[in-house]
C-alpha cells in the first residue's frame, strides 16, 4: 500500500450534451489524500468539486464518463471495479456526507432503520448489536434522546438533526475516509458551527481522513489541514491552510480571498469580474481572461502545476513569483472600499408596534376556543431614515422576510402601522395608490425564481415602466431600458436575452434594474446576494451602494451573513423569532455590549482565517414557535434567569443614552459588558 489513501491521477471527466458536443467537467486533476488528513476542496459553483468528490467513490453522474486518468482509493482502481466490489468499499471504507441531508434520507424509512441498514451492510453487525451500535452512533453525533430520534421519519427532524443523522450513518463502519459535500450549506450559522465542531472531534477521535468540499472559505479554514483550490475543472493551487490564507500564490486564490466581506474590516471588498469558462475551451490558462497578472504565455499555453520552494505548495500559474512578490496581508487591507452614506434625518419608513401572523383560526379551533398561538412577528418598532441602509439580521424563522413582505404589501399586518413619509403602508398592495407602490420596490434572493423565464430582459424591464409611467412612448421605454442596464453595468444587447441565457450575477443585476426602473424611494433587498458566488457577491454589493448614492435611496436589507451586513449596512436590527433583540449602528452591534443572541450569532460566524475559533454560546436546538410569554430567546439563552426571563418581556436598555442603540434584555448593561469584554 502506498502512503496515499486516495490518489487521483490526470483525471478527466466529461459528458456529451444534447447537441452531441463533449463538455469537460474535470481536466487532468491530480490530487492525493493521506490517511488521517483533512483536505478542503474549494471553488465556486460549477467548477467540478462535487464531481471530483463522487469520482473518489467510483461514482459518476449518469451520462458522464471517465475520459482519462484514474482514481485509486486504498490501492483499488475505483473505475476498474464492478458494482459488487464497489458495494463492499462504499460505506465500509469511504463514506459520503451530502449537502442536503433532508433529501438524502429515504422518506419512507425510519431514521434508525436507515442507520441500522448501513451498520448491517458495512459493519458486520446484526440484530440487537446493530441496534445498540445505532443508538451509540446517534449519541456520538449529539442527537438528543437517540431512542426517540431513531423512531422518527426524516421529515420529523430539523435540518441540523437530519445532518447529524446522516453523519451517524456515514460513521457506521468507521470508514478510512469521509467525503463531505457542502454538509453545512443551508444551515443556520449556529447549527453550522456546532456541526463543524462535531466533525472536527470525530475526525480527531477516529483518525479518519476527510475531504471537505465547500464554496465557503470560512468553513474550509475551520476544518482543513490542507486546501486544494479548483477552477474550471482543474486544481490550481494546493497547499496547507496557513500558506493558503497568508500567501496565496494563484491570482484566482487572491481574487477569491479579497472578495469575501470580513467581520473585522469595514467596507465592500474587491470584486472579481468575469466568470469561469467551460473546462478545456481555452488554449492557455483558464483564468487568463480574468487575471490581472496576465502575460503573453498565459493565453497560449496551459501552465504546469509547479512546486514552490518551502512548505509543500503547488500552483498552476506561470507568474506565481510575481504574485508572491506582493504581500497579501497588506494588499487585503487596501482592497476594502468604505462607502459614503448620506443619511438624512427625516425618516423614510417607520414601523410601529407591527404584529404579523400567518395563523388563521379554523372552524374547529373557534368552536373549541383554542387560544391563538403567539404571532409570527410581534412588537416591531423601527424607523429607517432616508438614504440609510437598515439590515435585518437573524437565523431562519426570525421573521425577516415576513416583515419585508408586509412592508411591500404582500402580507397583511395584524396590528400596528407602517408609515412611508406621510402615507400609510399598513394596507395590502392592491389597496395602495400606484404612486405609493412605485416608491417601495422589492428584490428577491434568487433571480432564477424572481425573473419570469418566458420574458426577455426588455419585457422584464418594460413591466414597471408601463405600469408606473403609462405616458412613456415605446422609444422612451427602450431608451430607459438601455439606461437602466448601463446603470447595473450590463450592455444594452442584454435586452434580447432570456433569463436562462445569463449567469446568476447577470440575472440579479436585471432584477435590480427592474426595481430601479420604478425610480423608488425605498428598496427592500431580501438576501439578494446569498444565491451568488462570492466573487459575484462583492460586485453586486458595490452596485447596490452606488445606486443608493445616486438618488439617496433607502434600503432595508435582509441578510443572514453578518460579514455582508457589516459591509453594506448603516444600522442593524437583530431579530429572534419575530421579536427585536437589539438595534443599533453597525459599530454598536459588532462590539460589546451585545444582546445574548447577537453575541451567539457573532460568536458562531466563521471567518476565513485558520487561527480564528468560533465561540459557541447557545445550543442549536431548533425552535418552531416563539414562546407565549417572557423573552423570545429564553429557551436558548445561556444566561437565562429562571423566573424573570421566562415570565416577563425584557425592557429596552440604552447603553449610550443618545443615538438609539438599544438592547432588549433583563441583564443590566454593565453586567453584559463585563462578561462579554472578558470573553473576547
Partner 1 sequence: MIILIARRLILSLVTLFIISLIVYVGVEALPGDSATGYLGQWATPESLAALREEFGLNDPIHVRYINWLGDILRGDLGVSMVKRKPVAELIGNRFRNTVVLTITSALVGIPLAIILGVIAGLMRDKLPDVIISTTSIVAMTLPGFVTATVLIYIFAIRLEWFPAITLVPSDVSVIELLDTMLLPIITLTMIMVAHILRLVRTNMIDVMVSDYVQMARLKGVPARQIVFKHALPNAMLPTINIVALTLAWLVGGVAIIETVFNFPGIGKLLIDAITDRDFALVQGIAMILSGIYIALNLTADLLSLVLNPKLRTARGH
Partner 2 sequence: MTLVAQSVEQPPRTKRRSPLAETWDNLRKSWAGMVGLTLIVLHILIATTSPVWIPRDPLEMNAKIRTQAPSAEHLMGTDKLGRDVFSRSMVGGRVTMVVTLIAISIAVVWGGLLGIVLGLVNGRADELIMRFVDALLSIPWLLIILLIVSVLGTKMWVQALTFGFTYGILTVRVARAATLDFVTSEFVLAARARGERKRTIVIKELIPNVRDVLLVDGAMNWSWMLLGFTSLSFLGFGVTPPTPDWGFMIAKNREILGVQPWAVFGPVVMLGTLIIGINLFADAFAKALGLDRSQGAPV
Instruction: Enumerate binding residues for partner 1 (CB under 8 A).
Output: 54, 57, 59, 62, 83-84, 86-92, 95-96, 98, 100, 103-109, 117-118, 121-122, 153, 155-156, 166, 169, 364
Report d(CA 591, CA 576) in Å as an integer: 19
What is the b/e burial string over 21-32, where b = at least 16 CB atoms within 10 angstroms of the residue's CB? eeebbbbbbbbb
Strand, coil or helix: 577:
coil
Among 129, 148, 326, 467, binds partner 2 (CB under 8 A): 467
Which of 275, 417 has the CB closer to partner 2? 275
Residue 168 to residues 93, 97, 153, 404, 460, Cα–Cα distance (Å): 15, 9, 15, 38, 47
Q: Are 322 and 294 in contact (CB under 8 A)?
A: no
Which of 107, 309 has the CB closer to partner 1? 107
Which of 89, 667 has the CB closer to partner 1? 89
Q: According to the binding rule CB under 8 A, does residue 530 interact with partner 2?
A: no
Report d(CA 663, CA 637) in Å as an integer: 14
Report d(CA 189, CA 108) in Å as an integer: 29
The phi and psi torsions of 679 (rounded to 5 degrees) equal -70, -30
Binding at 208: pick from partner 2, partner 1, none (beta carbon under 5-8 Å per type): none
Q: According to the binding rule CB under 8 A, does residue 51 interact with partner 2?
A: yes
Residue 318 is placed in which grid cell? 506561470
Q: How far is the CB of 5 from partner 1 (least distance, A)?
A: 17
Residue 600 is placed in which grid cell? 451567539
Q: How far is the CB of 33 from partner 1 (least distance, A)?
A: 17
| 611: Cβ contacts below 8 Å, ≥ 6 apart | none
Which of 467, 641 has the CB closer to partner 2? 467
Q: How many helices (H) and strands (E) does the chain have?
A: 27, 24
Among 381, 503, 619, 621, binds partner 2 (CB under 8 A): 503
Among 30, 100, 306, 530, binds partner 2 (CB under 8 A): 100
Q: According to the binding rule CB under 8 A, does residue 250 interact with partner 2?
A: no
Residue 85 to residues 33, 71, 437, 674, Cα–Cα distance (Å): 22, 15, 63, 61
| 391: Cβ contacts below 8 Å, ≥ 6 apart | 557, 558, 559, 565, 568, 569, 571, 572, 573
- What is the number of other CB atoms lying within 10 angstroms of the CB of residue 371? 7
Which of 104, 134 has the CB closer to partner 2? 104
Binding residues for partner 2, total number by CB under 8 A: 61
Binding at 450: pick from partner 1, partner 2, none (beta carbon under 5-8 Å per type): partner 2
Among 200, 414, 455, 549, binds partner 2 (CB under 8 A): 455
Binding at 106: pick from partner 2, partner 1, none (beta carbon under 5-8 Å per type): partner 1
Which of 123, 532 has the CB closer to partner 2? 532
Q: How far is the CB of 152 from partner 1 (least distance, A)?
A: 8
Q: Are 376 and 578 in contact (CB under 8 A)?
A: yes
Q: Are 138 and 115 in contact (CB under 8 A)?
A: yes
Which of 314, 514 has the CB closer to partner 2? 514
Binding at 23: pick from partner 1, partner 2, none (beta carbon under 5-8 Å per type): partner 2
DSSP codes joined into one string, 23-64:
EEEEEEEEEEE-TT-EEEEE--TTSSHHHHHHHTTT---TTE
Q: According to the binding rule CB under 8 A, does residue 61 interact with partner 2?
A: yes
Q: How far is the CB of 79 from partner 2 (least distance, A)?
A: 17
Report d(CA 80, CA 83) in Å as an integer: 10
Which of 154, 248 has the CB closer to partner 2? 154
Binding at 155: pick from partner 2, partner 1, none (beta carbon under 5-8 Å per type): partner 1
Among 129, 410, 479, 641, binds partner 2 (CB under 8 A): 410
Instruction: Pinpoint the alpha helices (H) of 518-620.
Output: 534-551, 562-568, 586-589, 596-604
Among 30, 158, 185, 552, binds partner 2 (CB under 8 A): 185
Q: Which stretch binds partner 2 (CB under 8 A): 154-162, 363-371, 451-459, 595-603?
A: 451-459
Instruction: Pinpoint the alpha helices (H) of 291-427.
Output: 296-300, 320-325, 328-335, 363-367, 400-407
| 650: Cβ contacts below 8 Å, ≥ 6 apart | 631, 664, 665, 666
Q: According to the binding rule CB under 8 A, does residue 22 interact with partner 2?
A: no
Among 38, 93, 99, 398, binds partner 2 (CB under 8 A): 99
Contacts with partner 2 by CB under 8 A lie at 18, 23, 25, 45-46, 48-51, 54, 61, 96, 98-100, 103-104, 181-182, 185-186, 275-278, 405, 408-410, 429-430, 432, 434, 437-438, 440-442, 444-446, 449-455, 463-464, 467, 496-498, 501-504, 506, 514, 518
Amino acid at each position: 500500500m502506498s502512503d496515499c489513501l486516495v490518489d487521483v491521477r490526470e483525471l478527466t471527466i466529461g459528458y456529451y450534451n444534447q447537441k452531441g458536443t463533449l463538455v469537460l467537467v474535470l481536466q487532468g486533476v491530480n490530487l492525493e489524500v493521506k490517511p488521517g488528513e483533512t483536505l478542503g476542496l474549494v471553488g465556486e459553483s460549477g467548477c467540478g468539486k462535487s464531481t471530483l468528490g463522487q469520482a473518489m467513490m467510483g461514482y459518476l453522474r449518469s451520462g458522464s464518463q471517465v475520459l482519462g486518468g484514474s482514481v485509486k482509493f486504498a490501492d483499488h482502481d475505483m473505475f476498474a471495479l464492478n458494482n459488487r466490489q464497489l458495494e463492499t468499499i462504499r460505506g465500509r471504507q469511504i463514506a459520503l456526507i451530502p449537502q442536503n441531508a433532508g433529501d438524502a434520507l429515504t422518506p419512507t424509512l425510519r431514521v434508525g432503520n436507515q442507520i441500522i441498514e448501513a451498520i448491517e451492510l458495512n459493519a458486520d453487525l446484526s440484530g440487537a448489536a446493530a441496534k445498540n451500535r445505532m443508538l451509540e452512533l446517534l449519541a456520538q453525533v449529539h442527537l438528543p434522546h437517540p431512542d426517540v430520534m431513531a423512531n422518527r421519519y426524516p421529515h420529523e427532524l430539523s435540518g441540523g438533526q437530519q445532518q447529524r443523522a446522516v453523519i451517524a450513518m456515514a460513521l457506521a463502519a468507521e470508514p478510512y475516509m469521509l467525503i463531505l459535500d457542502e454538509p453545512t450549506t443551508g444551515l443556520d450559522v449556529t447549527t453550522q458551527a456546532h456541526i463543524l465542531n462535531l466533525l472536527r472531534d470525530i475526525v480527531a477521535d477516529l483518525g479518519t481522513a476527510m475531504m471537505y468540499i465547500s464554496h465557503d472559505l470560512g468553513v474550509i479554514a475551520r476544518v482543513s489541514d490542507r486546501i486544494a483550490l479548483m477552477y474550471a475543472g482543474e486544481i490550481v493551487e494546493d497547499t496547507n491552510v496557513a500558506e493558503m490564507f497568508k500567501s496565496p500564490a494563484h491570482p484566482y486564490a487572491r481574487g477569491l480571498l479579497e472578495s469575501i466581506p470580513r467581520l473585522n474590516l469595514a467596507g465592500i471588498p474587491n470584486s472579481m469580474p468575469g466568470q469561469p469558462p467551460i473546462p478545456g475551451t481555452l488554449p492557455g490558462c483558464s483564468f487568463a481572461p480574468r487575471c490581472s497578472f496576465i502575460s503573453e504565455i498565459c493565453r497560449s499555453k496551459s501552465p504546469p502545476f509547479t512546486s514552490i520552494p518551502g512548505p509543500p505548495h503547488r500552483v498552476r500559474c506561470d507568474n506565481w513569483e510575481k504574485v508572491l512578490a506582493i504581500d497579501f496581508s497588506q494588499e487585503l487591507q487596501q482592497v476594502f472600499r468604505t462607502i459614503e452614506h448620506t443619511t438624512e434625518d427625516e425618516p423614510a419608513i417607520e414601523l410601529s408596534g407591527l404584529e404579523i401572523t400567518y395563523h388563521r383560526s379554523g372552524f374547529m379551533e373557534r368552536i373549541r376556543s383554542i387560544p391563538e398561538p403567539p404571532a409570527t412577528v410581534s412588537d416591531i418598532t423601527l424607523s429607517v431614515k432616508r438614504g440609510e441602509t437598515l439590515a435585518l439580521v437573524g437565523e431562519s424563522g426570525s421573521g425577516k422576510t415576513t416583515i419585508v413582505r408586509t412592508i411591500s404589501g404582500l402580507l397583511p399586518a395584524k396590528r400596528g402601522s407602517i408609515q412611508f413619509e406621510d402615507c400609510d403602508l399598513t394596507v395590502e398592495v392592491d389597496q395602495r395608490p400606484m404612486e405609493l407602490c412605485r416608491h417601495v420596490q422589492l428584490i428577491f434572493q434568487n433571480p432564477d425564481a424572481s425573473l419570469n423565464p418566458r420574458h426577455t430582459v426588455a419585457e422584464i424591464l418594460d413591466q414597471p415602466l408601463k405600469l408606473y409611467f403609462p405616458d412613456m412612448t415605446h422609444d422612451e421605454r427602450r431608451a430607459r431600458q438601455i439606461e437602466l442596464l448601463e446603470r447595473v453595468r450590463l450592455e444594452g444587447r442584454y435586452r434580447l436575452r432570456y433569463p436562462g441565457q445569463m449567469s446568476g450575477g447577470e440575472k440579479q443585476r436585471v432584477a435590480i434594474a427592474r426595481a430601479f426602473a420604478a425610480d423608488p424611494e425605498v428598496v427592500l433587498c431580501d438576501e439578494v446576494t446569498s444565491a451568488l458566488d462570492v466573487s459575484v457577491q462583492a460586485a453586486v454589493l458595490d452596485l447596490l451602494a452606488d445606486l443608493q448614492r445616486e438618488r439617496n435611496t433607502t434600503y432595508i436589507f435582509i441578510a443572514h451573513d453578518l460579514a455582508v451586513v457589516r459591509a453594506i449596512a448603516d444600522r442593524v436590527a437583530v431579530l429572534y423569532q419575530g421579536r427585536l433583540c437589539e438595534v443599533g449602528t453597525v459599530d454598536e452591534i459588532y462590539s460589546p455590549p451585545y444582546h445574548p443572541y447577537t453575541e451567539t450569532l457573532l460568536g458562531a460566524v466563521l471567518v476565513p482565517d485558520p487561527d480564528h475559533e468560533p465561540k459557541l454560546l447557545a445550543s442549536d436546538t431548533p425552535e418552531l414557535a416563539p414562546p407565549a410569554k417572557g423573552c423570545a430567546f429564553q429557551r436558548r439563552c445561556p444566561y437565562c434567569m429562571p423566573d424573570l426571563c421566562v415570565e416577563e418581556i425584557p425592557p429596552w436598555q440604552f447603553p449610550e443614552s443618545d443615538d438609539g442603540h438599544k438592547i432588549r434584555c433583563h441583564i443590566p448593561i454593565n453586567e453584559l459588558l463585563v462578561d462579554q469584554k472578558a470573553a473576547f
